[in-house]
Amino acid sequence: MIRRPRSESIAQRPAAAASAPAKQGKASTKTAPDEEDKIDEAEAEDEDKEVDEEDAGEEGSEGGKPERKAYELVGSGPNVCYLWADGISSLLELDEDRAYVVLKSAALDAFRPVAGLPKDERFEAIEKHLDILRTWSIDATDEAREAPAAQALVKEWNEKTGKNDEEEDEDEDGDGEDDEDGGKGVQWWYEVTLQQERPKDDTSHIEVTLEDAGIWYLTDIKPADKEGDTAMSVVVDHTAHTYD
């Protein structure tokens, strides 16, 4: 920010007039140490402080509003995140693609301001709301995949997705909305629940590693609702190449 010019700087002001010599027999008229410059300096410091505070409020933002911070994982969880269908399959069984998760709360809060716009306008409009959103890569070891609790989760996943149903339509654009042929399509986005506390061994779960966050446990998978599916269809255009 350009600093506001002051009407008159301290350096431009005339120096205090020299004291007149005292006349013999009369009290001296010599002035006390000049207080005017001290007052001017204090006022100048106050003005600089005010300008600096305004700079801080506008730095890295538009319209004088401070940037919002990206949403973070809350404590030890549970945290609900979005993960796409192929990413889940890769995490649980295939280990082919590098998957990542996005916090549900961040994705929805970023999408809601543009939800009412036409589909072809959402991509650009959402950009100014993405400062609250970040991603975490998610992975599992072969040992974790082979654990009985993980195998139980794989079984549940296959049942939910109808993995062997070759007749089911595909939602090719992944937007959770009807395709041109009228078919609703296979669910594309899912909610996954993550927590740091180790679940009981008799419950279905898998141990995973989150980028910069250590060991977590994925304990539940369920289809995203209509809002979440549509929100992530827009968000993914901005996050898809994060880990290329």
The answer to the question of residue 138 being in a domain is: yes
pTM given for the model: 0.66
The pLDDT value recorded for residue 46 is: 54
Taking each helix axis from N to C terminus, what angle separates 226-239 and 104-111, rounded to the nearest 10 degrees? 90
- Residue given tokens 């989760």 in the structure block: 153
Residue 133 contacts by C-beta under 8 Å, 6 or more apart in sequence? Answer: 70, 71, 102, 103, 106, 107, 110, 235, 239
- Per the domain annotation, does 144 fall within a domain? yes
219 located within any domain? yes
In a domain, 235, yes or no: yes
Distance CA 134, CA 103 (A): 8
Residue 70 within a domain: no
What integer is the mean pLDDT of 228-238?
94
55-104 confidence digits (pLDDT tens): 444 344 344 445 668 999 999 999 999 999 999 999 998 767 789 999 99
Count of domains in the chain?
1
Domain span at residue 171 reads: 79-239
Domain presence at residue 54: no
Query: Closest Cα to residue 156, out of 95, 205, 112?
Result: 205
Q: Assess if residue 211 is contained within a domain.
A: yes
Specify the 3-state DSSP secondary structure of 166. Answer: coil
In a domain? residue 66: no
Predicted local confidence at residue 36, as pLDDT: 55
Q: Which of 4-8, 78-82, 224-228 has the lowest mean pLDDT?
A: 4-8
The helix (run of H) or strand (run of E) holding residue 238 is: helix 226-239
